[in-house]
Chains A and B, each alone.
Chain A
Amino acid sequence: MPLSRRQLLAAGTTAAALGGFSPLRAQANTIRIGVLTDMSGPYRDSTGPGSVVCTQQAVQEFGNKGFQVEVLQADHQNKPDVGANLARQWYDQGVDAIIDVPTSSVALAITQIAKEKNKVFLNSGAAVTELTGAHCNPNFVHWTYDTYMLSKGLAGALTKAGGNTWYFVTADYAFGHALQRDATRFVEEAGGKVLGAARYPFPSTTDFSSFLLQAQASRAKVLGLANASGDTVNCIKQGREFGLNKSMRFAALLMGLVDVHALGLETGQGLLLTESFYWGLNDRTRAFGKRVQPKMPNRAMPAMVHAGCYGVTLHYLKAVADMGVAAAKASGTDVVARMKAMPTDDDAFGQGRIREDGRKLHPSFLFEVKSPAESKEPWDYYKLVATTPAEEAFRPLSEGGCPLVRS
């Protein structure tokens, strides 16, 4: 019964998503951007409709430079097969670039399709570093963050601050494994030791107390949470319930603004987390935040992945305008090459560039969650602890093993 229910769900919503748009005619003067994201699952709030809003915001701010831009959206339900089908169909029907795509397994499937069809894939929501490593290709840009950036910022800093023994609670799929692997590296580099890990079934786990007690019994000083969104929130909530916070420091390796919002400052205060964007970081990010907030679902402030969709769309459109629509539509590889050649600049991430392997470079920030008393206005959740400069925040080019990089 459970199987048939899931299949029913998948079949039903795919049909709805596919039936939703009429066959697209490839119009010569229109750039089509498809936001493929999680509209109905656990990552909906940190990606989803907010990613669509921020993509549209970029299109609107870019203005009319002699060509039309059309933004489409669809739900990949965090399933590689559903996502791959939608991507194929979109590319075949004249979509020039697919944007966002959270959930690493789906992103890995789509990056190959983009290359095969010589289109553009601009990722904001997924985390695995393989996208710019072994699986890199000339049609792909990885904008916002990755597991290396997350781990380096947090795991290294915590280990050096005395948290030298770790126990991981890990989501048992590509993303969780990658995050644990990268974090382990930085823990060990900083002289720390990993005492063990519990891998729990994803996405069907809601009670984490068993894994948390195993972590507690390991007597490690740091609880590394190699998971995301609702799972992370539940782990922290339940960890406090079982008193883990008395003997361990929590390190949520991927935790964002919406998770802190879900947790509440009362429970979340004092947590450390790594992000590449926070709306309250500086005047430009604040201005960007205030511009899009009224359009966001539930008037939330944009989170890191949302901002990434904004930044990457703006840069993509600049490259298209620079080389001309006809040339841009003809070859995805050429557009991405142009994007890499042009320096980036937007309100959310400031100035930066895209490396040969498709990795966008910008600083990463270590934040501490404020206490309820320190928070002055809604969504005022973070204070800045440390900044890692752009050139150090991401994996060195030589270590990724990307075939595009010639040594």
Chain B
Amino acid sequence: MDEIFGIPAPLLFGQLLLGLINGAFYAMLSLGLAVIFGLLNIINFAHGAQFMMGAFAAWMLLEWAGLGYWWALLLAPIIVGFTGVVMERLMISRLYKLDHLYGLLLTFGLALIIEGIFRNEFGSSGMPYRIPPELAGAWDLGFMFLPVYRGWVVIAALILCLATWLLIEKTRLGAYLRAATENAALVQAFGVNVPRMVTLTYGAGVALAAIGGVLAAPIYSVNPQMGTNLIIVVFAVVVIGGMGSILGSIVTGFGLGIVEGLTKVFWPEASATVIFVIMAIVLLARPAGLFGRA
């Protein structure tokens, strides 16, 4: 039990746990993408930028308004979600009748613009954001030293994912949403304001990204390109899990985090590639993704 495949067991457990933590971010972000794609049919390439905006909102709230982490966790998603609502109303809503590609190009362009603005304003090297004192410190688990904050991230992500899944699969509101995806005209005929619901759904998806950003701020440096690196992986997660599948994105997010974590031990140089290799295999074997419906 001391060594597994030549790697000391404590190190391996540590890496599994770390994979789970990174998986929490993948799950949170791909969840937002899945919600948006599932209900709006928009491939939201601005998701990484919105994740970054969440982190910056936390930083601005602290620097400019003196509001700490917990306020940021509440306010940043509302602020960033609101910018999402404005974007949906002004631009994205005009594209629903067109091909997916138009939505993708629009949101991609918006992402570049948003990142460019932040880069011009704040530079590229990032801003410091501290771990809230309540969550500072670390637990000694015997096999590793787990920072309390990382534990909190996993728990928060699990709660968030579970709540979103329950909301969409088990509530009346969720039923409306799902029905509107199937047949918007019919649901509207029943007196449900579908356009408003779609707008709010986009806002909620964006808010999820922003919460991810706030959770990430104390771990990563808060900088304009922080979303860019993550979003590519997250798209792979969504593709593997199946576009639009809520459960798929949650399970795949955590799962791929663990796979990536293990790769970092056995072959660190390949850890950025492994997810795309899996994506290629999944696309060949099950084009609709692991949890998707063809």
- Whether, in the assembled complex, B14 has its beta carbon less than 8 Å from a beta carbon of chain A, the answer is yes
Our pick among A46, A211, A242 for the contact of B147 (Cβ within 8 Å) is A242
Q: A2-B235, A214-B11, A241-B147 are in contact. Are A233 and B125 (CB under 8 A)?
A: yes
Q: A217-B8, A237-B221 are in contact. Are A41 and B124 (CB under 8 A)?
A: yes
Q: A2-B276, A211-B268, A233-B221 are in contact. Are A298 and B22 (CB under 8 A)?
A: no
Q: A40-B119, A238-B219 are in contact. Are A205 and B225 (CB under 8 A)?
A: no
Q: CB distance B273 to A298 under 8 Å? A: no
Q: CB distance A46 to B125 under 8 Å? A: yes
Q: CB distance A213 to B221 under 8 Å? A: no
Q: CB distance A230 to B223 under 8 Å? A: yes
* Chain B 1-51 residues near chain A, CB threshold 8 A: 8, 10-11, 14-15, 18-19, 21-22, 45
Q: CB distance B219 to A217 under 8 Å? A: no
Q: CB distance A263 to B128 under 8 Å? A: yes
Chain B 194-227 interface mask (CB, 8 Å, partner A; 1/0): 0000000000000000000000000111010110
Q: CB distance A205 to B124 under 8 Å? A: no
Our pick among B18, B116, B219, B233 for the contact of A213 (Cβ within 8 Å) is B18
Q: CB distance A230 to B125 under 8 Å? A: yes
Our pick among B10, B11, B229 for the contact of A203 (Cβ within 8 Å) is B229
- Whether, in the assembled complex, B185 has its beta carbon less than 8 Å from a beta carbon of chain A, the answer is no
| B235 CB → nearest A CB, Å | 6
* Chain A 249-304 residues near chain B, CB threshold 8 A: 258-259, 261-264, 266-267, 297-298, 300
- The closest CB in chain B to the CB of A264 belongs to B128
Q: Interface segment, A59-67, A194-202, A379-387?
A: A194-202
> A262 contacts which chain B residues (CB < 8 A)?
125-128, 221, 223
| B110 CB → nearest A CB, Å | 14
- Whether, in the assembled complex, A1 has its beta carbon less than 8 Å from a beta carbon of chain B, the answer is yes
- The closest CB in chain B to the CB of A197 belongs to B268
How many residue pairs, one in A and one in B, have C-beta atoms under 8 Å apart?
A: 141
Q: CB distance A201 to B219 under 8 Å? A: no
Q: CB distance B268 to A200 under 8 Å? A: yes
> A174 contacts which chain B residues (CB < 8 A)?
none
Our pick among B126, B144, B226, B232 for the contact of A5 (Cβ within 8 Å) is B232
| B230 CB → nearest A CB, Å | 6
> B236 contacts which chain A residues (CB < 8 A)?
1-2
Q: CB distance B232 to A2 under 8 Å? A: yes
> A1 contacts which chain B residues (CB < 8 A)?
232, 235-236, 239
Chain B 103-133 interface mask (CB, 8 Å, partner A; 1/0): 0000010001000100100111111101100
| A186 CB → nearest B CB, Å | 24
Q: A207-B22, A214-B11 are in contact. Are A201 and B269 (CB under 8 A)?
A: yes
Q: A43-B124, A213-B18 are in contact. Are A234 and B235 (CB under 8 A)?
A: no
Q: A2-B232, A2-B235, A5-B108 are in contact. Are A241 and B150 (CB under 8 A)?
A: yes
- Whether, in the assembled complex, B286 has its beta carbon less than 8 Å from a beta carbon of chain A, the answer is no
Q: CB distance B220 to A261 under 8 Å? A: no
User: Chain A interface mostly helix, strand, loop or mixed?
Assistant: helix
Of A9, A12, A243, which is in contact with the most chain B CB atoms at under 10 Å from its CB? A243
A211 to B130, CA, bound (A): 22
> B125 contacts which chain A residues (CB < 8 A)?
42, 44-46, 229-230, 233, 258-259, 261-262
| A74 CB → nearest B CB, Å | 16
- Whether, in the assembled complex, A204 has its beta carbon less than 8 Å from a beta carbon of chain B, the answer is yes
A41 to B265, CA, bound (A): 28
A216 to B144, CA, bound (A): 10
* Chain A 75-105 residues near chain B, CB threshold 8 A: none
Chain B: interface residue count, which band? 35 or more
- Whether, in the assembled complex, B261 has its beta carbon less than 8 Å from a beta carbon of chain A, the answer is yes
Q: CB distance B119 to A200 under 8 Å? A: no
Q: CB distance B219 to A205 under 8 Å? A: no
- Whether, in the assembled complex, A368 has its beta carbon less than 8 Å from a beta carbon of chain B, the answer is no
Q: CB distance A204 to B232 under 8 Å? A: yes
Q: CB distance A213 to B11 under 8 Å? A: yes
- Whether, in the assembled complex, A48 has its beta carbon less than 8 Å from a beta carbon of chain B, the answer is yes
Chain A 346-386 interface mask (CB, 8 Å, partner B; 1/0): 00000000000000000000000000000000000000000
- Whether, in the assembled complex, B89 has its beta carbon less than 8 Å from a beta carbon of chain A, the answer is no
Q: CB distance B264 to A172 under 8 Å? A: no
| B225 CB → nearest A CB, Å | 7
- Whether, in the assembled complex, A206 has its beta carbon less than 8 Å from a beta carbon of chain B, the answer is yes
- The closest CB in chain A to the CB of B124 belongs to A44
27 A-B residue pairings within 8 Å (CB atoms): A2-B276, A5-B232, A40-B119, A41-B225, A172-B269, A198-B264, A201-B273, A204-B233, A204-B272, A205-B229, A206-B229, A207-B22, A207-B220, A209-B150, A210-B261, A211-B264, A213-B11, A216-B145, A230-B126, A237-B220, A237-B221, A241-B131, A241-B138, A258-B123, A261-B125, A262-B223, A263-B128
Q: Which residues of A contact B (CB under 8 A)?
A: 1-2, 5, 8-9, 12, 40-46, 48, 172, 198-201, 203-207, 209-211, 213-214, 216-217, 229-230, 233-234, 237-238, 241-243, 258-259, 261-264, 266-267, 297-298, 300
Q: Which residues of B contact A (CB under 8 A)?
A: 8, 10-11, 14-15, 18-19, 21-22, 45, 108, 112, 116, 119, 122-128, 130-131, 138, 144-145, 147, 149-150, 219-221, 223, 225-226, 229-230, 232-233, 235-236, 239, 261, 264-265, 268-273, 276
7 more CB-based (< 8 A) A-B contacts, given A5-B45, A213-B18, A230-B125: A44-B119, A45-B123, A201-B271, A204-B229, A233-B221, A262-B128, A298-B122
The 10 closest A-B pairs by CB, nearest first: A201-B272, A264-B128, A44-B124, A210-B264, A45-B125, A2-B232, A45-B123, A204-B272, A262-B125, A262-B126
